[in-house]
Amino acid sequence: MSNKFKRDELINQGLYINGKWQDAQQHFAVTNPADGNTIVEVASADKTQVESAIEAAEHAFKSWRKQTCEQRAEKLRAWFDLVMQHQQELAEIMTLEQGKPEQEAAGEIAYGASFIEWFAEEAKRIRGDILPNIKDNQQSRVIKQPVGVVAIITPWNFPTAMITRKVAPALAAGCTVVIKPPSLTPLSALALAVLAEKAGIPAGVINIVPTQDSSMFSETVCAHKAVRKLSFTGSTAVGSKLMKLCSDQIIKVSLELGGNAPFIVFDDADLDIAVEQLIACKFRNAGQTCISANRVLVQQSVEKAFVHKLKNAMQKLVVGKGQNKDSDLGPLINQDAVDKASDLVDDAISNGARFELEGGVDKQLGALFYQPQLLTSVTPAMSISKTEIFAPVVAVQTFDTEDEGIDLANDTEFGLAAYFCASATDRIHRVSEALEAGLVGINSGAISHALHPFGGFKQSGIGREGSHYGIDEYLEIKTLVQGAL
Ligand code: SIN
């Protein structure tokens, strides 16, 4: 058999449990957001199937944890190679189910694969300590061990990268996983399973159980004695519910939750750089990212010049089907996303905001296509300033002094990402220290990378993903005290 799968050979409709594909009683349709057509019907796991996935992971854990770090690294590396060999096929599947332009989808495949590569290497760097002797006949050591079976729940906005950013460190640490991919975009996840199997990752180490019944999945994994960790990316409201469910059995949690990122433009900023970086940040995935600039805060004296340049740049963005080579933005994910953005914009306009660029729903292209919008005279009290917009809408507020800009930026319960543009080194130092966010972009709107710790302050979450810190989320620390030496 050839090592290369064709695109359609990577599209699966079943549950992947213990290395086997299974059907289910119920099914749900996966639709293409560009035209509303059904791509395929996917099996929807029930409680018994979720439990059997957990049991498969529990069984596989016994041997996976015993593999040497090099054996685990080799398998992850083989998986990385296969994902990159199939970058184009995987990108096409992602565009079909999620809508983002194919080139951007190919970028996400490479980004997602980079976590597999990175953690394949980190598997070999799990270290402990030998502590100084406390008594002359005793020695104390610290070792790290895998936490066990990990339940993983991922979102639709990054159908591949949000899975690999969790699964790769879990596997590198010696854990096994049960994944519930998003019902809107399960195909990218299932395609990863085909390649994981081909890479030699043993049966039961990765289990994928799409289901429309999210509550059933959460309740089942949180009630099962074998599950020792839950990793979730999604909204703060759901994260809070999951944390409560995890409290019964004190299941460890990693939560990557909502954001309300400020993007501050100070009066000493290079405005061309500010515009370029805001475009890169705001319009990635049509604004549907947790680290997207949600509130653009511009120092009063440069507002006019900045908005003029920004409007020019936004007018060049092309909205269209993800398969079109010239599309910068694909459709939004569903009607709820379109309605939410439209309602936030209507509310802002009715409370005094002004359109610099009217944009909005583009019915000619299709119900979910949304042309970029630029609003000024936005205030902190408006809903648009307090809610994750998740659409290509730029909402500009102004401020007078540096302190006022920082206070406005921090005036949110979220703290995932923040951005600012400035040139004075003392200001860069002060503002970097003052912003309450897990990631801060300084004259940079592109801050995601496998090497960067990703996670939030305040209600934006718990824990860090990616980077050399990411593997710690899947490891227990054990202290060994040996006496009578
Ligand atoms: C997210 O939106 O949650 C992920 C964005 C990223 O990894 O860059």
Structure confidence by residue, pLDDT tens digits, 96-133: 999 999 999 999 999 999 999 999 999 999 999 999 99
The b/e string for 90-104 (b: 16+ C-beta within 10 A; e otherwise) is bbbbbbbbbbbbbeb
Place of tokens 């994902």: 83
List the catalytic residue out of 55, 58, 256, 436.
256
pLDDT for 2 equals 63
Mean pLDDT (whole number) for 411-424: 98
What are the residues facing 31 on neighbouring strands?
A: 38
- Cβ 204 vs Cβ 57: under 8 Å: yes
* CA–centroid distance, residue 210 to ligand 1 (Å): 21
Place of tokens 């054996």: 71
* CA–centroid distance, residue 196 to ligand 1 (Å): 23
Q: With residue 476 as reference, give the H or E element that holds it.
A: strand 475-482
**For the CA of 165, the nearest atom of ligand 1:** 7
pLDDT for 3 equals 76
Mean pLDDT (whole number) for 401-412: 98
What CATH topology corresponds to 7-257+460-481?
Aldehyde Dehydrogenase; Chain A, domain 1 (3.40.605)
* CA–centroid distance, residue 192 to ligand 1 (Å): 19
Q: Percent of the chain beyond pLDDT 70?
A: 100
Q: Two tokens at 124?
A: 């070999």
Q: Is 256 a catalytic residue?
A: yes
- Cβ 59 vs Cβ 69: under 8 Å: no
Q: Two tokens at 273?
A: 């750089």
Task: Give the domain ranges of the chain.
Answer: 7-257+460-481, 261-449
Nearest to 345 by CA among 372, 325, 319: 372
Q: Could you tell which of 162, 238, 333, 444 is best to mutate to test the pocket of ligand 1, judged by most ligand atoms within 8 Å of the CB?
A: 162
- Name the pTM for this structure: 0.98
Structure confidence by residue, pLDDT tens digits, 427-446: 999 999 999 999 999 999 99
Tell me if 294 CB under 6 Å of ligand 1: no
What CATH topology corresponds to 261-449?
Aldehyde Dehydrogenase; Chain A, domain 2 (3.40.309)
